[in-house]
Chain A
């Protein structure tokens, strides 16, 4: 789910029709407004998610203890498991969970810090505290989905999805679990809006132009993308298989010639140099960031899109998703076509 809507069909519709920011985030001015300045807070465009559909999977009594970040996670995980259907191992103890997030539950974290500051440290909110802990959302997912396997949260900004996926791969190869629910969650919060406004100003107004290398065009995005992963090979699943998961340095990575390269280029100029080089080396390259926005965990969306392309048989060549960060790291995830059941 993302600014395009909730569920697989919403993502498919966005792929056909294109995507754009679906909301705005108010950004308070950094300095007090001048007397007579009636301009008020600015509105920055953003890709936002409506988490109301989570009520399909959890009661209000359960949901009341979840913050919005956890609701994003639970909704994403529930949709993935619903879609997986009979692929789900019968024993829930055989399913692990790895959740990736670049920002974590930042709204709850800042709200909790505010509650500390406002009350001079005497009255911090216990609910805000429990929700501000990064692993809280994964715990909610485990409890709601009754997953009894290992549960981990990974936060390494843009490298969060590749890092989480490497862990998921290890768990599967070690035989520790039969399946891993792998997903990424990121949430927009007022502090993020403030940062976009301060760092990028009018350039944060979009639209995202992933291949305009010298232009800052990133637009805030949020959402969740989950996949149920199992051991297997080419003849195993309807969504194909992941043949390669590599964390390397961007300057060392040479994209294979026969791959469609899906770049995580999201309009940030700080990564542009690496993406520009890769796009020149690749025979074919594309970017789906204008569908879901700029968020650290965006690579999971690209993998989900690659899986959909396999299912729809619109791409028979392997798809190579590449995400770069400002430190020169590069996460490479290769998705290949698999035979149907």
Chain B
């Protein structure tokens, strides 16, 4: 499965987005605020989920802010970490 699709699935399932399906999330859509509507508690949960599911660690807030902008940015962050 494509990494973007996997990320969407994990976000929907692990953050219990009961009214959203993975297909409804656009690759460039903002994950927080006006986009998908995730909040600060989701951000902390997402750090845990990304580490647990993908083995990638997000070490600080500035790194997280960049990575969590959208599915595209999260996929890019994942790729960079796997290549490093």
Contact = CB atoms under 8 A, between A and B. Distances in A.
Chain A residues touching B, range: 10 to 19
A127 B48 CA distance: 10
Nearest to A55: B18
A60 B19 contact: yes
B18 A119 contact: no
Interface in A11-56: none
A277 interface: no
A251 interface: no
A130 B42 CA distance: 12
A123 interface: yes
Given A119-B51, A119-B52, A127 B18 contact: no
Interface in B49-84: 51-52
A148 interface: no
B48 A125 contact: yes
Interface string B20-50: 0000000000000000010001001101100
B18 to A, nearest CB: 4
A125 B17 CA distance: 16
Contact of A123 (B17, B18, B51): B51
A166 interface: no
Given A126-B41, A127-B41, A63 B51 contact: no
Interface string A62-93: 01110000000000000000000000000000
Chain B residues touching A, range: 10 to 19
A63 B48 contact: no
Nearest to B44: A126
A60 B18 contact: yes
Given A126-B41, A126-B45, A127-B41, A64 B18 contact: yes
Contact of B45 (A59, A119, A125): A125
A124 B16 CA distance: 17
A127 B19 contact: no
Contacts of A257: none
B19 A61 contact: yes
Interface of A: 59-61, 63-65, 115, 118-119, 123-127, 130
17 contacts: A59-B19, A60-B18, A61-B18, A61-B19, A63-B18, A64-B16, A64-B17, A65-B16, A115-B48, A118-B52, A119-B52, A123-B48, A123-B52, A125-B48, A126-B41, A126-B44, A126-B48
Given A127-B45, A130-B41, 14 more contacts: A60-B18, A64-B15, A64-B16, A64-B17, A65-B16, A65-B41, A115-B48, A119-B48, A123-B47, A123-B48, A123-B52, A125-B48, A126-B44, A127-B41
